[in-house]
Amino acid sequence: MRALSAATVGLVLTIVSAHGAHAQVAQSNPSASSASVPRVINITGVFQPVDGQPLRPLETVTLAIYTDATGGAPLWQETQNVVIDAKGRYAVLLGAASPNGIPAAVLAAGAQWLGTTFNRQGEVEGPRVQLTSMPYALRAADADTLGGRPASAYLLAPGAATGQSSLSEKCFCSSGSTFASK
């Protein structure tokens, strides 16, 4: 009986330590946690053909992201088929045509404007629409900080790096033992 319980404890400890190791890998690799965040943007609009032709239930549209409101080459673009209702309204997930959505490098390069071009004879890119943030997205940007400060703001004082510790760097436990914090 004692051998069985020791084996059971050993198995439980192995599972718990494996779970803890996985959690540390996820925390030390920021891209591991951000990989689950979809980089797609919900876009809605209304299409009115310039030539006055009737709407088709399915239209092909090219969506492009730019840094400027006018002119310049697109940072990124994709072409999708979108469903159009009788009034010309449509909804599309920008980035859905790519396996990983909109590349992070595009967003980091200053993407701020969206241009749409319906692939029909005589159609040109419509006025660009500014990409904006949602309130919770702005708050989520603060998630990489501690109270709005970067992790580097919480580095130990220079004395701590040399092995010297002050009274404020020690932990006093109720058992009377003292442990220096690292």
Pair of tokens at residue 75: 């940072």
Q: Per the domain annotation, does 176 fall within a domain? A: no
pLDDT attached to residue 92: 96
Q: Are residues 130 and 61 in the same domain?
A: yes
Q: Are residues 86 and 46 in the same domain?
A: yes
Q: Per the domain annotation, does 14 fall within a domain? A: yes
- Give the per-residue SS3 of 127-167: CCEECCCCHHHHHHHHHHCECCECHHHHCCCHHHHCCCCCH
pLDDT attached to residue 107: 84
From first CA to last CA, the distance across the chain in angstroms is: 42
Phi, psi (5° rounding) for residue 165? -130, 145
Give the chain's mean pLDDT: 74
pLDDT attached to residue 96: 94
Domain residues for 11? 1-36
Q: Are residues 65 and 110 in the same domain?
A: yes
Q: Are residues 95 and 22 in the same domain?
A: no
Collapsing DSSP states into helix, strand and coil, what is residue 21? helix
Q: Are residues 47 and 131 in the same domain?
A: yes
Pair of tokens at residue 140: 């989520």
- The sign of the dihedral angle between the CA atoms of 61, 135, 68, 129 is positive
Q: Per the domain annotation, does 124 fall within a domain? A: yes
Contact status, residue 119 vs residue 77, Cβ threshold 8 Å: no
Percent of the chain whose pLDDT exceeds 70? 64
Distance between CA 39 and CA 162 in Å, rounded?
44
For the chain, the domain total comes to 2
Mean per-residue pLDDT for 28-52?
74
pLDDT attached to residue 149: 78
Q: Are residues 102 and 28 in the same domain?
A: no
Q: Are residues 81 and 103 in the same domain?
A: yes
**pLDDT tens profile 140-159:** 767 777 777 777 777 776 66
Residue written as token pair 């309204």: 89
Q: Per the domain annotation, does 119 fall within a domain? A: yes
Distance between CA 84 and CA 55 in Å, rounded?
7
Instruction: Examine the pLDDT at 42 and tell me if it is beyond 80.
Output: yes
pLDDT attached to residue 141: 67
Distance between CA 81 and CA 45 in Å, rounded?
14
Collapsing DSSP states into helix, strand and coil, what is residue 118? strand
Distance between CA 102 and CA 118 in Å, rounded?
20
| Residue 37 DSSP label | S
